[in-house]
């Protein structure tokens, strides 16, 4: 686990030296506090900050070179099947100088460099973002793992190409202008995050999950890049087999996935929330290690939604070591600190407890297994069930007239914190008046596009007048290999929600604590297995994760199996209420409309509607602006 950064200059003479690149890499020291290194040749620079996990010796320090020093690599992540790949390479005569997975990737690339080097990517089981400089061909090859567990940002500027594990490295390199993308702001206000390939900066991009990038100087001497997708989900291939057989296969896949993720030369543990996914991961660890499992749980003191008691039930049943930390609830003050690590606006409030959990875990372990991905794979979110129900209703009542009636019903149905939860049907009614992709976009949004647009400063509002924030989700929803409604929603989530929301939170929060997080439920074999399951084995009788529950049924307490999804959410409503009661209010970011923000606060105070999430999003946006948008660019 590491952090990487680098550049490919149009003019090699303008390239910073290795010492300057080391200084840029210092901005991501938290990702790799154990060692660092840079190399600059032919206008290409590579830098690595290392968090040593496997082969703790200096032999594992990066960049790593091949024997004739025509290839150099910097790598972030883990390749779990590297020992198997190493044996295959050794059988063909390849000799290694370290025990690292990084050198295995380099040697694989060396074998395919004259053909299609991207052919190495399907051989890798793991999570990664890496860059290889091929001095012989004068090219740079960058790749990101299938799910997007590890991040990779890049920017094409007047100086050439720059890239890094975090946006702050691009700013520190000095080529990227701090010019905010108004469309990204609208994305953020609607979704809480900014979906790839956009970033908050107009000229910077996220390399999407499962993609590679090749860079090379063209005939004009300018660096030209090519980006392509190298992996996709096999939706559309449906397995029609006995549920009992599939459930057993699922469990065996999970256990093997966990087995691979137990490889480490440092202390290793797990996050345990008490929910189904993290509990299943810990149960698989217990099957492999017995009682020698270290699990960590956190909660907030005095909060009735804490999952600490549920986690204790699992830990006691499995007889493992369990550490519980209960924290003071006034954690919203950490928003300013998180702005440094996230680099762009990101308003999932569970980022705060995830960071606190990571810091607590780091006191005793360097690697922690987590349950991320189970909801996306096996349809655990409530919105999947609602979406399926909406599809059934649309099939019964087709036609534009009915859509118009439902859309009208969504507008006039009473809204607000005072409305009983069982009667809050406005979103469902409005969704029935939309096409399926638009309805699903609304289900994953925190506010309507019009509401989000109204919060922007008038100049920015005009700049996004013709922009549709649902376009990226619509693109993936329509590109699904399966026409099944659930498959379409999951396919869209795997290309937007999962990498850019769930995994972004996990990566930044764990790496802020210099902790490596591993996600067994996102082993590509498990993901491909889940994609081939029919809808009836994911959602049945109004319950999600049907087959997954059956697979872990004999391994966990019945209470854990039967529980609904709670989520790792902090007491956001209480946080916002306390902020307003303390007289601090919600600061209006410079990019927001002050009058619109004040009106939203007034509506929230009056109890007309619960705007805790949008108000929190504005607080996060203000913290981002104060940390990043108003500061001068480093090196400029």
* Residues noted as catalytic: 2
Q: How far apart are CA 35 and CA 14, in angstroms?
A: 27
Q: How far apart are CA 486 and CA 492, in angstroms?
A: 10
Cα–Cα distances (Å) from 278 to 90, 319, 565, in that order, read 37, 16, 12
Nearest to 500 by CA among 345, 275, 272, 340: 345
Q: How far apart are CA 319 and CA 317, in angstroms?
A: 6
Chain Cα centroid distance, residue 173: 24
**Do residues 431 and 442 make contact, with C-beta atoms less than 8 angstroms apart?**
yes
Q: How far apart are CA 55 and CA 67, in angstroms?
A: 20
145: left (phi over 0), alpha (psi -120 to 50) or beta: beta
Q: Name residue, tokens 């850019």.
A: 500
Beta partners for residue 8, in sequence order: 44, 161
Q: How far apart are CA 475 and CA 492, in angstroms?
A: 8
Is the peptide bond preceding residue 63 cis, with omega within 30 degrees of 0? yes
For 190, half-sphere exposure in the C-beta direction (CA atoms, 13 angstrom radius) is 26
Count of CB atoms situated within 10 Å of the CB of 414: 10
Q: Is 258 exposed, middle or buried (0-12, 13-18, 19+ CB in 10 A)?
A: buried
**Do residues 69 and 30 make contact, with C-beta atoms less than 8 angstroms apart?**
no
Decide: helix, strand or coil at residue 188. Answer: helix
For 128, half-sphere exposure in the C-beta direction (CA atoms, 13 angstrom radius) is 25
**Do residues 368 and 470 make contact, with C-beta atoms less than 8 angstroms apart?**
no
**Do residues 149 and 519 make contact, with C-beta atoms less than 8 angstroms apart?**
yes
Chain Cα centroid distance, residue 244: 32
Count of CB atoms situated within 10 Å of the CB of 484: 18
Strands 126-134 and 223-229: unpaired
**Do residues 270 and 295 make contact, with C-beta atoms less than 8 angstroms apart?**
yes
Q: Which pair of tokens denotes residue 180?
A: 């905010």
Q: How far apart are CA 141 and CA 130, in angstroms?
A: 8
Nearest to 161 by CA among 187, 141, 146, 189: 141
Computed on alpha carbons and rounded to an integer, the radius of gyration of the chain in Å comes to 24
Residues 6+ apart with CB under 8 A from 164: 3, 4, 5, 6, 28, 152, 153, 154, 170, 173
Count of CB atoms situated within 10 Å of the CB of 148: 27
């Amino acid at each position: 686990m590491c952090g990487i950064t680098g550049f490919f200059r149009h003019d090699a003479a303008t390239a910073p030296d290795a010492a300057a690149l080391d200084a840029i890499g210092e901005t991501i020291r938290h990702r790799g506090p154990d060692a660092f290194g840079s190399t600059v040749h032919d206008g290409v620079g590579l830098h690595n900050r290392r968090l040593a996990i496997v082969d703790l010796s200096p032999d594992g320090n990066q960049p790593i070179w091949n024997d004739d020093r025509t290839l150099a690599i910097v790598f972030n992540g883990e390749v779990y099947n590297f020992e198997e790949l190493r044996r295959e390479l050794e059988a063909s005569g390849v000799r290694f100088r370290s025990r690292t997975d990084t050198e295995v990737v380099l040697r694989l690339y060396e074998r395919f460099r004259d053909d299609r080097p991207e052919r190495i990517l399907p051989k890798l089981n793991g999570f990664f973002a890496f860059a290889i400089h091929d001095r012989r061909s004068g090219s740079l090859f960058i790749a990101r793992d299938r799910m997007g567990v590890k991040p990779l940002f890049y920017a094409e500027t007047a100086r050439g190409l720059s890239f890094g594990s975090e946006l702050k490295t691009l700013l520190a390199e000095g080529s990227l202008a701090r010019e905010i993308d108004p469309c990204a702001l609208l994305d953020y206000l609607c979704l809480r995050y900014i979906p790839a390939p956009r970033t908050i900066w107009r000229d910077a991009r996220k390399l999407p999950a499962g993609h590679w990038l090749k860079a090379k100087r063209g005939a004009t001497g300018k660096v030209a890049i090519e980006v392509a997708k190298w992996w996709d989900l096999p939706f559309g291939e449906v397995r029609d087999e006995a549920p009992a057989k599939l459930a057993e296969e699922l469990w065996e896949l999970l256990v093997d996935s966990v087995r691979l993720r137990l490889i480490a030369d440092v202390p290793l543990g797990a996050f345990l929330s008490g929910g189904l996914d993290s509990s299943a991961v810990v149960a698989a660890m217990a099957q492999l290690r017995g009682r020698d499992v270290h699990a960590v749980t956190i909660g907030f003191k005095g909060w009735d939604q804490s999952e600490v008691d549920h986690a204790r039930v699992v830990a006691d049943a499995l007889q493992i070591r369990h550490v519980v930390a209960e924290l003071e609830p006034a954690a919203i003050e950490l928003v300013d600190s998180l702005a440094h690590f996230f680099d762009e606006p990101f308003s999932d409030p569970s980022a705060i407890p995830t960071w606190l959990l990571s810091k607590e875990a780091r006191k005793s372990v360097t690697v922690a297994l987590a349950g991320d991905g189970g909801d996306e794979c096996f349809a655990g979110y409530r919105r999947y069930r609602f979406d399926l129900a909406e599809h059934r209703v649309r099939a019964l009542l087709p036609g534009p007239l009915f859509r118009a009636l439902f859309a009208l019903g969504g507008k006039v149905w009473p809204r607000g914190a005072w409305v009983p939860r069982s009667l809050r049907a406005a979103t469902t009614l409005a969704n029935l008046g939309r096409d399926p992709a638009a309805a699903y976009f609304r289900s994953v949004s925190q506010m309507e596009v019009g509401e989000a647009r109204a919060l922007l400063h008038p100049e920015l509002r005009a700049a996004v007048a013709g922009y549709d924030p649902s376009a990226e989700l619509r693109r993936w929803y329509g590109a699904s290999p399966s026409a099944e409604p659930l498959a379409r929603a999951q396919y869209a989530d795997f290309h937007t929600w999962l990498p850019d929301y769930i995994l972004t939170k996990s990566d930044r929060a764990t790496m802020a604590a210099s902790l490596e997080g591993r996600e067994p439920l996102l082993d590509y074999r498990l993901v491909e297995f889940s994609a081939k399951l029919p809808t009836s084995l994911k959602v049945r009788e109004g319950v999600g994760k049907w087959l997954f529950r059956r697979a872990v049924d004999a391994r966990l307490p019945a209470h854990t199996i039967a529980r609904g999804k709670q989520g790792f959410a902090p007491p956001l409503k209480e946080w916002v209420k306390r902020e307003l009661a303390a007289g601090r209010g919600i600061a209006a970011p410079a990019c927001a409309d002050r009058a619109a923000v004040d009106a939203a606060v007034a509506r929230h105070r009056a109890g007309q509607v619960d705007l805790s999430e949008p108000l929190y999003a504005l607080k996060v946006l203000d913290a981002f602006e104060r940390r990043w948008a108003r500061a001068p660019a480093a090196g400029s």
